[in-house]
Amino acid sequence: MKMFAAINPLRVVLMLGLALVLSGCTRGTSDLRDWIAQEKAKKGAPITPLPVIKTFETFKYDDQDKRDPFSPSLAETEPSSGNSGPRPDANRAKEPLEMFSLDSLKMVGTVGTGVGTEVLIKDPGGVIHRIHKGEYMGQNYGHVITISDDHIDLVELVSNGNGGWMERPASIALAGQ
């Protein structure tokens, strides 16, 4: 009897609770097994057949000794006769805004009036530059020819595809706030 008196009643309650919990875990799993058997017995969706692989007719190019149709002809590679027409100045130092495309530059305002009018141009990095008539901007040698309160007009030099250059007008309008 001395042995039973030393047992803590709290321990007895914990032991009985543990026994109840364990008996709940060992309850039959027949309902789970029945559900698994039903799911396995169901027919699955039909698998779509693989698409038919089309075979393509091969072609052997035997005209290796003829001119490549994708390279320029001799007439296109020779410089045009005479040096007439516009040309970019190769000796001129590039200006800061010539490393950006015109599409990425925004006109944000003007400073001054008359001949001394300066245009405020914002580059993609957020830096604002002061531009005067006659300066260059854009990647196609854009030369500022007129400055207005709401836009600037430029003339760009673009390749004509035959080794020469041609002028193309462009403008940048005041960005709407």
Q: Evaluate if residue 23 carries a pLDDT over 80.
A: no
CB 152 within 8 A of CB 138: no
145 domain residue, yes or no? yes
Contacts of 139 (CB under 8 A, 6+ apart): 98, 99, 100, 101, 102
Q: Give the range of the structural domain holding residue 115, as residue numbers without chain letter.
A: 98-173
Inside any domain, residue 162: yes
Does 138 reside within a domain?
A: yes
pLDDT at 171: 92
Dump pLDDT digits (tens) for 140-177: 999 999 998 889 999 999 988 777 889 999 999 988 75
**What CATH number is given to the structural domain containing 142?**
2.30.30.830
Give the β-pairing of 118-122 and 128-131.
Answer: antiparallel
Domain count, the chain: 1
Per the prediction, the chain carries an average pLDDT of 83
Residue 154 lies in a domain: yes
Which pLDDT band, with edges at 50, 70 and 90, does 58 fall under? Answer: confident
In a domain, 46, yes or no: no
Kindly state the average pLDDT of the residues 73-99. Answer: 72
| Distance, CA of 119 to CA of 151 (rounded, Å) | 9
For the record, the structure tokens of 144 come out as 């500022």
Tell me the percentage of the chain whose pLDDT exceeds 90: 32
Residues 6+ away with beta carbon under 8 Å from 100 = 123, 124, 137, 138, 139
User: Which tens digit of pLDDT belongs to each residue from 94-147?
Assistant: 999 999 999 999 999 888 877 788 999 999 999 999 999 999 999 999 999 999
Q: Are 167 and 154 in contact (CB under 8 A)?
A: no
> Which pair of tokens denotes residue 150?
């709401």
Residue 82 has pLDDT above 50, yes or no: no
* DSSP strands (E only) in 132-173: 136-137, 142-147, 151-159, 165-173
Q: Is residue 122 part of a domain?
A: yes
